[in-house]
């Protein structure tokens, strides 16, 4: 199994998830925006991931390029770790709700800021969008998150799941982009970052 990624981008979710699941894989660092061999915009890489983004997980003939799908796939590779609730249960429904909310609502203003800061060609960037709109959108999503989040120490339910991987990485992203984050969510994020698997994944991003 191979995972293509870079730094603390969305691919870090997949790398951390693999550590939590105990799944062995080769981690291949991709150069952002480069058309050279090993770059995200190279012809070879875009044969795997047409968008030239990360992560890309390759397991035999299977290629996955969406981070949420990747972490769920890795969770199901290690059912004994109980990282994803069983299909058809209320716990799974709540897990899915949280994951979908994170990647569609909580993450949306963060990626919009990233696009208008560095990802889009300069002629398509709208600097005013960052200051006038996105802080409001993130605050609104965060308020909803506080209502959805489990009252336990985890994102959903009473133990660690892949939803915690998604939420922690997204909150880290928000903090790097200088959005205002509720103190309880900062405390939650710091606790999740103390996990051994998180530290192990961070070490691999530097290799």
Worst-scoring range by mean pLDDT, 4-8, 12-16, 127-131? 127-131
> Tokens standing for 67?
């981070």
pLDDT tens per residue across span 70-121: 999 999 999 999 999 999 999 999 999 999 999 999 999 999 998 888 888 8
Q: Please tell me the distance from the alpha carbon of residue 82 to that of residue 154, in angstroms, as a whole number.
A: 14
Element spanning 22, H or E: none
CA-based nearest residue to 29, from 150, 174, 207: 207
| Spans of all domains in the chain | 2-81+198-205, 90-194
Domain spanning 2-81+198-205: CATH superfamily: Glutaredoxin (3.40.30.10)
**First CA to last CA across the chain, in angstroms?**
18
Q: What is the pTM of this model?
A: 0.94
Beta-bridge partner residues of 26: 2
- From the candidate CATH numbers 1.20.1050.10, 3.40.50.10490, 3.40.50.1980, 3.40.190.10, the one assigned to the domain spanning 90-194: 1.20.1050.10
Q: Please tell me the distance from the alpha carbon of residue 50 to that of residue 43, in angstroms, as a whole number.
A: 9
pLDDT tens per residue across span 27-80: 999 998 889 998 999 999 999 999 999 999 999 999 999 999 999 999 999 999
Q: Please tell me the distance from the alpha carbon of residue 33 to that of residue 36, in angstroms, as a whole number.
A: 9
129 burial level (CB within 10 Å; 0-12, 13-18, 19+): middle
Cα angle value 148/149/151 (rounded, 5°): 120
CA-based nearest residue to 106, from 202, 160, 179, 17: 179
Q: Please tell me the distance from the alpha carbon of residue 20 to that of residue 9, in angstroms, as a whole number.
A: 18
């Amino acid at each position: 199994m191979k995972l293509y990624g870079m730094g603390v981008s969305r691919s870090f979710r997949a790398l951390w998830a693999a550590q939590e699941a105990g799944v062995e894989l080769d981690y291949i660092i991709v150069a952002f925006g480069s058309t050279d061999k090993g770059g995200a915009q190279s012809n070879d890489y875009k044969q795997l991931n047409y968008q030239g983004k990360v992560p890309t997980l390759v397991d035999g003939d299977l290629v996955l390029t969406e981070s949420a799908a990747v972490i769920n796939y890795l969770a199901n590779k290690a059912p004994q770790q109980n990282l994803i609730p069983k299909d058809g249960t209320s716990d799974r429904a709540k897990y899915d709700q949280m994951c979908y909310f994170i990647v569609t609502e909580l993450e949306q203003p963060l990626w919009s800021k990233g696009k208008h800061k560095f990802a889009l060609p300069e002629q398509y960037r709208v600097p005013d969008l960052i200051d006038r709109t996105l802080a409001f959108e993130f605050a609104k999503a965060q308020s909803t998150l506080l209502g959805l989040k489990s009252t336990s120490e985890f994102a959903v339910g009473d133990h660690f799941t892949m939803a915690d991987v998604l939420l922690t990485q997204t909150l880290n992203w928000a903090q790097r982009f200088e959005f205002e984050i509720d103190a309880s969510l900062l405390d939650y994020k710091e606790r999740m970052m103390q996990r051994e698997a998180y530290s192990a994944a961070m070490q691999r991003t530097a290799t």
